[in-house]
Amino acid sequence: MGRKILFVTTDQQRYDTLGCNGGLLARTPVVDGLAAGGIRFERAHPQSVVCMPSRSTMLTGQHPSTHGVWMNGVPLPVDAPSVADVLHGAGYRTALIGKAHFQPYLDPFLRFEENAISSDGEPAGGTHRGFEHLVTATHGPVGPLHYARWLAAEHPESIGGFYQVLDGSLQVNDAGGGETGAPQVAINPIDRGWYHTDWVADRTIAWLDSLPADDDWFCWMSFPDPHHPWDPPQSEVGRIDWRDVPLPAGYPGRPAERRRIIDGKPRHWRLWYDGELVSNYEAPARWVPASLTGDQLREVLARDAVECELIDEALGRVLAAVEQRGWGDDVDVIFTTDHGELGGDFGLLFKGPYHVDALMRLPLVWRPARSASAAPAVVSRPVGLVDLAPTFCAIAGVEPPGWMQGRPLPVTDGDADTRGFERVLTAWDSELFGVDVHLRTMMRDHWVCSVYRPGTSHDGTEGELYDLDDDPLQRVNLWADPERRALRDDLVADLEDHQPPVRSPRLLLEAPV
Amino acid sequence: MRSNRASVRRQLRIGRPAGEVWDLVGDPARLAEWFPGIVACDVDGTTRTITTGSGVPMPEQLLTIDPLQRRFQYRITAPLFTEHLGTIDVIDLDDGTSLVVYGTDADPATLALVIGGATGQALERLRTLLEGDQIATGPAPGPAAGRR
């Protein structure tokens, strides 16, 4: 009997929403406890700051350029490499419960396997991407996914309480709600037990209960929250009064200050802030960030924190079930998310081609199985989600396949230094409705360096350079600073030298998301 | 410009003569043979109603079926669309092969990508059918056929 793996992901969760990372709003004792007994990573970055590319990286252990899912709406081929396939081949029982999103959701033709399987039930007599059990959910009762079908069958009266994610034009909805009119906020009267967070945990527990005691297993428990919409069960919203929420350090209070900071960055920042250019589908197309008020931000952050608390409590229930099965000493738990959330930084919400800590610095906690006797540690060196798949292989005692581009996560800074964890890469590509944006970013030492390829708003000379030691909020773009020119050239050369192989032919964009 | 209209184009070269490609593309009743995710296709005069794999019926108006230009145009008239125009051109490349261009113009823009994104897969299926000399007799296979 080997080590079992509980891989827990959330969606669009900021680093600073966990108590163990200094967060003060949400109470997250379960993850904090895992961090105290395990390894907490201070510089874990995604390889893309949107869902489909990032999730594909977690599954394949490859950078977006290589697995080919270069933006949301580009489906990951069904025969793409999968760590679940590797583990299943090594004798592991495998499940993915919750949000998958390796293929687009907007699929009226039901031509994508993920949606078809969800519509039918689950993979019959085999596996899908290496998962023998696949139960899907997303941010509400939408699509053909298992959660939506369950809710429609069991509690149809609760469907109308969710925020309508898309508007009548199938654009991401900008309608405001709650008490402040904040975008993507709604008062959702749903019973807590019927909300997708607890639903995902319940299905995880049920699957684990179905396994023989001595089976090894890899379970990806994938919570759709705290991704917008911010419509947690209203019964829980009172945990945090939005009026008591302090405005975050990353939110410049005065509009003139926000504009001044943004104007130091490449021009698509300001164009989006003013509502003049929408470069991606992940934020409401008609919402103008400059209209965000402090109170709206407070209400969003309060609801976001409630969703983080519900996830923490749901994880606690799953861990209790694991203990009850007698597996407590043999389970590795890895907790992370696919990307961050702007969360008011620079006066912005949601996500997009903005490679700053709000979107790139992720919560990552690995609590190795107690039987492994690993010492608790904090790792400050840069790691990526691309390192997760090889880590799962290492836990399972399987040699990571050659197609994986990451390496097993370091367990200490010394281990990271020995194995050369010096830099982490992130890429953005989007081409939607005549607007394209392309950037490549590297975090190395205490620098974040982004280069822009030519696109709708850029001629290819633009860039961003931030000193995280002196400017942790990334307010001062040093790209054009003559005194940093040599450093910038060195970082850019290093970034370009380490670009991963590019899949050819390029996969096509097949849906908005 | 904050238009909510978008245009998506997909194209593919098929190693068969244009006339042969047109025989299939130009027959509105045979769409389900090559467009994945369409489970039914009923034609009544200039009206065609397709049913998608998710069970959504989509009424269409047939606008142009021109065998000389080998151009097929149709409009989805479902209420979700403010505007839609689908255009399929089969272009003779004079070497026994043809270029098939499938354009989707729609308002709202999102739907242009939802429909237009699927047309790429449809063209791939068309090429497989025609280059493989297969006789199409039923709906194009959706994901269910190949996933187990």
| pLDDT at B144 (0 to 100) | 41
The position carrying tokens 């000399």 is: B133
Q: What is the DSSP string of B70-87?
A: TEEEEEE--TT-SEEEEE
Nearest residue to A164 (alpha-carbon basis) of A181, A147, A183: A183
Pairing of strands B6-14, B98-107: antiparallel
pLDDT average, residue stretch A137-151: 93
Contact at 8 Å (CB) between B39 and A116? no
Size of interface A-B (CB pairs under 8 A): 99
3-state secondary structure of B104: strand
Partner-chain contact B37 A108, CB within 8 Å? yes
Find residues 59-118 of chain A whose CB sits inside 8 Å of chain B. 73, 78, 104, 106-113, 115-117
Q: How many CA atoms lie within 13 A of A365 on its CB side?
A: 26
Structural contact between residues A361 and A343, judged by C-beta atoms closer than 8 angstroms:
no
Residue B146 has pLDDT above 70, yes or no: no
From chain B, pick out residues whose CB is under 8 angstroms from the CB of A510.
113, 117-118, 120-121
CA of B38: which chain A residue's CA is closest? A109
- The interface residues of chain B toward chain A in range 80-99, judged by CB-CB distance below 8 A, are 80
Pick the CATH number of B6-133 from 3.30.530.20, 3.20.180.10, 3.40.50.11540, 3.30.2350.10: 3.30.530.20
Residue-wise pLDDT tens digits, B2-39: 568 999 999 999 999 999 999 999 999 999 999 999 99
- Residues of chain B found within 8 Å of residue A171, distances taken between Cβ atoms: 4, 108-110
3-state secondary structure of A401: coil
Rounded to an integer, what is the distance from CA A236 to the centroid of its chain?
23
B110/A123 CB distance under 8 A: no
Task: Quote the pLDDT of residue A296.
Answer: 98
Of the candidates B117, B142, B144, the beta carbon closest to that of A511 is on: B117
User: If you measure CA to CA, which chain A residue comes closest to B140?
Assistant: A111
Identify the three-state secondary structure at position A311.
Answer: helix
The angle, 0 to 180 degrees and rounded to 10, between the axes of the packed helices A146-154 and A196-209 is: 100
Is A408 an 8 Å CB contact of chain B?
no
Long-range contacts of A159-168 (CB under 8 A, 24+ apart): A161/A186, A161/A187, A161/A188, A161/A189, A161/A190, A161/A231, A162/A186, A162/A188, A162/A190, A162/A229, A162/A231, A163/A188, A163/A229, A163/A230, A163/A231, A165/A139, A165/A140, A165/A229, A166/A142, A166/B110, A168/B80
Which among A104, A106, A112 is the nearest to B143, CB-wise? Answer: A112
Instruction: Decide if A174 touches B, using CB distance below 8 A.
Output: no
ipTM: 0.87
Give the model's pLDDT for residue B148.
24
Domains observed in chain A: 4-257+289-422 (3.40.720.10)
Question: Which is it for the CA torsion A282, A267, A53, A20, positive or negative?
Answer: negative
pLDDT digit string (tens) for A443-478?
A: 999 999 999 999 999 999 999 999 999 999 999 999
Amino acid A171: pLDDT: 86
Question: Could you give the C-alpha distances from A398 to A86, A144, A394, in angstroms and in order?
Answer: 8, 35, 6
- pLDDT tens figures, A317-367: 999 999 999 999 999 999 999 999 999 999 999 999 999 999 999 999 999
CA–CA distance, A495 with A487 (Å, rounded to integer): 12
Question: Is the pLDDT confidence value at B145 over 70?
Answer: no
The pLDDT, as a whole number, for residue A170 is 85
How many percent of chain A have pLDDT more than 70? 100
**Where are the domains positioned within chain B?**
6-133
B56 touches A at CB < 8 Å? yes
DSSP letter string over A195-231? SHHHHHHHHHHHHHHTS-TT--EEEEEEEEEESSPB-
- Reported as a single tens digit per residue, the pLDDT across A69-108 is 999 999 999 999 999 999 999 999 999 999 999 999 999 9
Contacts with A128 from chain B: Cβ below 8 Å: 147
Q: What's the confidence (pLDDT) of residue A280?
A: 78
Q: Dihedrals φ, ψ of A329, to 5°?
A: -85, -15
Query: By the CB < 8 Å criterion, does B78 face chain A?
Result: no
Tokens 């409705």 map to which residue? A433
Mean pLDDT computed over every residue of chain A: 96
User: Chain A neighbours among B 14-53 (CB < 8 Å)?
Assistant: 35-38, 52-53
**B102-118 pLDDT per residue, tens:** 999 999 999 999 999 99
- pLDDT reading at B139 higher than 80: no
* Closest Cβ–Cβ partner in A109, A124, A126 for B52: A109
Q: Which residue has the tokens 């989805």?
A: B76
**Cβ–Cβ below 8 Å for A110 and B143:** yes
pLDDT surpasses 80 at A270 = yes
Is B36:A109 a contact under the CB 8 Å cutoff? yes
The number of beta carbons lying within 10 Å of the beta carbon of residue A501 is 10
β-strand A435-444 against A447-452: which pairing, if any?
Answer: antiparallel
Sheet holding B47-52, edge to edge: B6-14, B98-107, B83-92, B71-76, B57-66, B47-52, B38-44
3-state secondary structure of B103: strand
